[in-house]
A and B are shown apart, each in its own frame.
Chain A
Amino acid sequence: MSLTMPLPEPEIMAARDDIVARLQAILKPSSVIHLARELSPYECDALTMYRQTPLVVVLPETVEEVAAVMRLAAELNVKVVPRGSGTSLSGGSLPLADGILLGMSKFNRILDVDFENRCARVQPGVTNLAITKAVEHRGFYYAPDPSSQIACSIGGNIAENAGGVHCLKYGLTTNNVLGVEMVLIGGEIVRLGGRHLDSEGYDLLGLVTGSEGLLGVITEVTVRILQKPETARGVLLGFSSVKAGADCVAAIIAAGIIPGGMEMMDKPAIDAAEAFKPCGYPEDAQGLVIVELDGTAAEVDHLCGEVAKIAEAAGATSIRTSNSDAERIGFWFGRKNAFPAVGAIGPDYLCMDGTIPRGRLAEVLTGMGALAAEHGLRVANVFHAGDGNLHPLILYDAAIPGDIEKAEAFGADILRLCVAVGGVLTGEHGVGVEKRDLMGEMFDSVDLGQQERVKCAFDENHRLNPGKVFPTLHRCAEMGFMHVRSGDLPFPEIPRF
């Protein structure tokens, strides 16, 4: 691995004991973790190939404590890295040797469920799935469902703008959040949004969602909850090629049908899933499409018929429609096991996360095959077909010297290919450190400069989660950003409009 992070500041490293003591003075002693053996669980998130022991870990319990940590960090000029459940696949919460790791795990309470206004106010450490669990007895759920939903926190979901398999119809995190409370780098506590729709002034809520912990620390979240669809049915389609499957997906959408979920797997992924635990997928299929339709019974029955007709016209080699919930869940079985299944044959795998215009799928898969041969590695593909989000799983063996580097180089080439056909580097996992150095493939220096100036508006000294998202850090002053305290303009006598 070759990842350059901001160099630790020697004066901060030297002042570690003092920083720990100052933190202990403002937090409960048990909320400050500083012994080496206790720090090791925090040295990475779910992108385990990069590790770094943090300077110190703090686990505050109240927003006032978070604000106090931020004020102290400002006073001592120490960097801060926020962390939710540590399930980031892009290294979004990778610690810094000279930074305070600010863990939000103690913010684990559901504060208020407002069924009448279809929203829930929760603390950021609550898991994604726990929100659904708290409202399902009344027939509601929280829509975004990243695959890590059992563990990932809603605060982390905000930071990463987490997705899931139902995004095409129900949106990403950003479309399902109504408000947040947030602590800024200087310790100010601000509230964005609330229980109402849309924002007053600039949509800072929309900006903060997906900002990967670079703009503030989320301390409270209000999400929308939706009523569960009356029913859901699945249609399992086999195709003689991935292209035929992709064409069918396009035809379904062109016919005006927006399924609740629409997933695709290629032959290597199907084989891996079958080998892992038999799931009854059609043996001869080179491409498999799972379509889930949800809504009222009359609508779902009607749409299942329409999808079957479209699939037949698109040359599906097998079509099965679920007649029970057990059968529908069975269709998902292999897809949901795809990652561990690939892991079982790997023995290691690297999960990529590009999004492409769906129409370019066949071309991208062909290109990916050529790259696989070039790099001498295998790849299996699962694909959120409805929204074009591709998860190539690159198989490698960490025990073989050089294999990790080969896998990373292959992954970077795949993402370059995604960008070249009009796609993007990451659909739902975030840039973090993993794709940071590829940002130049998608954005030029002016594009990145504009984003960096937005960062400067929140954090002019780059103390909040530096080293993530942006390939190079420019000093804010160097970028022509005017330094302004508390909204006071320099030279107030000069008229400005």
Chain B
Amino acid sequence: MARTVHAPRDEADLAALVASARETRAPLAVEGRGTRRALGRPVEAPATLSTADLSGITLYEPAELVMTARAGTSLAEIRATLASANQELAFDPIEHTALLGHDAGSTTIAAAFALNASGPRRPKIGAARDHLLGFRAVNGLGETFKSGGRVMKNVTGFDLSKLVCGSWGTLAVLSEVTFKVMPAPETTETIAVFGLDDEAAGRLMREASGLPQEVDAFAHLPAGADGPFSHVATTLLRLDGPPVSVASREADLVARFKALGQIEILGEDDSRRAWTDLREAGPIARRPGAIWRISLAPSDGPKLVAALRARELPLAGWFYDWVGGLVWLALEPEAGPQAGPVRAEVDRLGGHATLIRAGELVRGVDDVFHPQPAPLAALAARVKRAFDPDGILSPGRMTKGA
């Protein structure tokens, strides 16, 4: 659908645009640079509101671990500025480049928060929602408001930062975000253990996650996953820190796990490449068909895959991140009903499944996000109306009809 695109140049323009859309009850599809329209449910709106032109870092104090940037600032700019002070976005947001084909760094900082995007270090370091300290935004009434602050520890008022993270632009249009940044590790290396099946790899990752050697990320790729490890099942344990620390932790872990399988150490460059590719779901992103991203308790990851295989669902590939608690799943296209069985198994185990890639028709009909029990869905609908009573902001993006 061709849409009018509004790209306000400042926050006042942004507020005026939303207010006028509300006056005419003409909904807006809220986006940054629009690279991820194919994610989530399709928005039912005649016009697009882009924050791409609200750009620029407005505050960066490395010693305070804090940065403020306007919504449309690109991740490329954020990352480069942080790198100049040896810092980084520790939650390492997925950009969906391998899934959707846009360039790395082209997505915006506000989108990273609006999608609650995070990466492989999520279990250790938190998601986007754990790093947003405060924000400025325009709600569906066209009012500009702020929440939170710029300090690390703040319990003044409701923590609306958590709500806007993962709200996909449906509660408010972020105009500026203030977030926690972290020192970049001096070095990073990865222990690769080869030849384990899913169950054994799950056990290894869970054991490693309880050791004082402080593993920074844990993933498992079954044999056949795309990338450098396609020939053999590979379990990856990432170690960040000063070289002396990484070396000693690595030695301890290798001694502990060497009996389980052949081990190889990935040096800094290979390690970074591997984890960036994992973050972007590279090992299955290029498979045809539907792609699911499923969060469960770590021990339930391998159980889910086993259950789906037992149901003879046509799996086209899968891998595990987050100690086994994040399952990326590819299913062969056009092979009968899939969402039902996937969600039924996820419900049985406890967790949630997001349909990351499917045709627009499917995304418009099926639930993309995991359906909620009725009282929770009703509560979520009331929260939506508390920000956007007239349904102006990205209607339909998360839930059909809301």
Query: Which residue numbers of A lie inside 8 Å of B, CB to CB?
Result: 114-119, 139-140, 160-161, 163, 167-168, 171-172, 174-175, 184, 188-192, 194-207, 209-211, 227-230, 250-251, 253-258, 295-299, 302-303, 355-359, 384, 386-389, 422-431, 435, 439, 442-443, 446-451, 453-458, 469, 480-482, 484, 486-487, 496-497
A74 to B252, CA, bound (A): 59
In the complex the two chains form, is B130's CB within 8 Å of A171's CB? yes
A487 B156 Cβ-Cβ under 8 A:
no
Most buried by A among B85, B145, B350, B401: B145
Partner of B149, one of A255, A295, A423: A423
Q: Which of B152, B157, B184 has the most CB of A within 10 A?
A: B157
Evaluate whether A484 and B385 lie within 8 angstroms (CB atoms) in the complex, with A426-B154, A447-B147 already known: yes
| B120 CB contacts on chain A under 8 angstroms | none
Nearest opposing residue in chain A for B184, CB measure? A256
List B residues 340-394 near A (Cβ within 8 Å): 350-352, 369-370, 372-387, 389, 391
Determine whether the beta carbon of B160 is less than 8 Å from that of A454.
yes
Can you give 6 contacting A-B residue pairs, CB < 8 Å? A184-B375, A197-B122, A204-B376, A230-B212, A253-B183, A457-B386
Which residues B61-85 have CB closer than 8 A to chain A? Answer: 61-66, 85
**Which B residues are in CB contact (< 8 Å) with A230?**
212-213
Q: A458 touches which one: B153, B212, B379, B398 (CB < 8 A)?
A: B379
What are the residues of chain B within 8 A of A297 when measuring CB–CB?
248
Residues B166 and A497 in contact, CB atoms below 8 Å apart: no
Q: Please tell me if the beta carbons of A424 and B156 are within 8 angstroms of each other in the complex.
A: yes
Q: How far is the CB of A448 from chain B (nearest CB, A)?
A: 8
Interface of A is mostly: loop
Inter-chain contact A427/B157, CB cutoff 8 Å: no
Q: A190-B375, A197-B325 are in contact. Are A355 and B152 (CB under 8 A)?
A: yes
Interface positions, chain B 176-218, Cβ under 8 Å from A, are 182-184, 186, 206, 209-214
B65 x A196 contact (CB < 8 A)? no
Chain B residues with CB under 8 A of A386: 152
Given known A-B contacts A204-B380, A296-B249, A139 and B244 have beta carbons under 8 A apart? no
Contacts A204-B379, A388-B152; is A296 near B160 (CB within 8 Å)?
no
The answer to whether A450 touches B150 (Cβ under 8 A) is: no
Residue of B nearest to A470 (CB): B157
Q: How far apart are the CA atoms of A174 and B122 in the complex, in Å?
A: 14
**Cα–Cα, bound, A203→B213 (Å):** 31
B247 within 8 A of A: yes
Check B350–A194 contact: CB distance below 8 A. yes
| In the complex, B167 has a CB within 8 A of chain A | yes
Given contacts A174-B159, A357-B151, A497-B391, A227 and B211 within 8 Å (CB-CB): yes
Q: Judging by beta carbons under 8 Å apart, are B247 and A298 in contact? A: yes
A355 touches B153 (CB 8 A): yes
**A355 adjacent to B154 (CB under 8 Å):** yes
Quick check: A198 and B295 within 8 Å, CB to CB? yes
**Contact for B153 among A116, A167, A199, A203, CB less than 8 A:** A167
A302 touches B153 (CB 8 A): no
Alpha-carbon distance A140/B383, docked complex (angstroms): 37
Q: Pick the contact of B157 from A171, A443, A457 — CB < 8 Å? A: A443
Q: Tell whether, in the assembled complex, residue A195 and residue B245 are in contact, meaning their CB atoms are under 8 Å apart.
A: no
Partner of B396, one of A227, A486, A497: A497
Do the beta carbons of B389 and A303 come within 8 Å of each other?
no
Assembled-state Cα–Cα distance A316/B204 (Å): 45
Which B residue sits closest to A427, measured CB to CB? B153
Query: Are B86 and A256 in contact (CB-based, < 8 A)?
Result: yes
Contact of A201 among B182, B297, B300, B376 (CB under 8 A): B376
Q: Does B111 contact A (CB under 8 A)?
A: no
Other A-B contacts than A195-B350, A442-B149, A455-B158, 9 sampled, CB-CB below 8 A, are: A139-B210, A161-B159, A197-B326, A203-B166, A203-B167, A253-B63, A447-B147, A450-B145, A487-B378
Chain B residues numbered 307-344 whose CB sits less than 8 Å from any CB in chain A? 322, 325-326
Nearest A residue (CB) for B354: A200
Nearest-Cβ distance from residue B388 to partner chain A, whole angstroms: 10
Known contacts A357-B64, A358-B64; is A198 also within 8 Å of B160 by CB? no
Question: Provided the pairs A194-B351, A200-B369, A454-B160 are in contact, do residues A496 and B153 lie with their beta carbons within 8 angstroms?
Answer: no
B 232-246 contacts with A by CB, 8 A: 241-242, 244-245
With A203-B165, A425-B156, A484-B382 in contact, is A118–B127 under 8 Å at CB?
no
- Nearest chain A residue, comparing its CB with the CB of B248: A298
With both chains docked as a complex, state the minimum distance between the C-beta of B378 and any C-beta of chain A, in angstroms: 3
Q: Once the chains are docked, how many angstroms separate the CA of A487 from the CA of B376?
A: 10
Question: How far is B183's CA from A255's CA once the two chains are assembled, in angstroms?
Answer: 8
Q: Which residues of B contact A200 (CB under 8 A)?
A: 352, 369-370, 372
Complex Cα–Cα for A190 and B380 (A)? 12
Hey, which chain A residues are within 8 Å of B382, CB to CB? 457-458, 484, 487
Q: What CA separation (Å) do A327 and B299 show in the bound complex? A: 40
Q: Is B106 an interface residue (CB 8 A)?
A: no
> Most chain-A CB neighbours within 10 Å: which of B167, B352, B386?
B386
* Interfacial chain B residues near A389, Cβ < 8 Å: 151-153
Would you call A359 and B372 a contact (CB within 8 A)?
no
**Chain B neighbourhood of A426, CB < 8 A:** 154-156
Q: How far is the CA of A424 from the CA of B150 in the complex (A)?
A: 9
Residues of B within 8 A of A469 (CB): 157-158
A175 to B44, CA, bound (A): 34
What residues on A are CB-neighbors of B373 within 8 Å? 190-191
With CB as the reference atom, state the residue of chain B lying closest to A254. Answer: B63
Q: B150 is contacted by which of A258, A422, A448, A449 (Cβ under 8 Å)? A: A422
Closest 10 CB pairs of A and B: A206-B162, A497-B395, A256-B183, A487-B378, A299-B245, A200-B352, A298-B248, A195-B297, A457-B382, A387-B152
Chain B nearest CB: distance from A364 CB in Å? 12
Q: A200-B369, A256-B184 are in contact. Are A161 and B155 (CB under 8 A)?
A: yes
Contacts of A388 in B (CB 8 A): 64, 151-153
Expressed in whole angstroms, the minimum distance between the Cβ of A263 and any Cβ of chain B is: 13
B218 CB to nearest chain A CB (Å): 12
Beyond A206-B165, A430-B155, whether A484 also contacts B381 by CB under 8 A is yes
A385: min CB distance to chain B, Å: 11
Inter-subunit contact A171/B126 (CB<8 Å): yes
- Please tell me if B296 contacts chain A, counting CB pairs below 8 Å: yes
* Bound form: Cα–Cα A453–B322 in Å: 36
By a CB distance below 8 angstroms, the chain B residues around A198 are: 116, 118, 122, 127, 129, 166, 295, 352
Q: Which residues of A have CB within 8 Å of B85?
A: 254
- Are B298 and A442 in touch, CB under 8 angstroms? no
CB-based contact B299/A117 at 8 Å:
yes
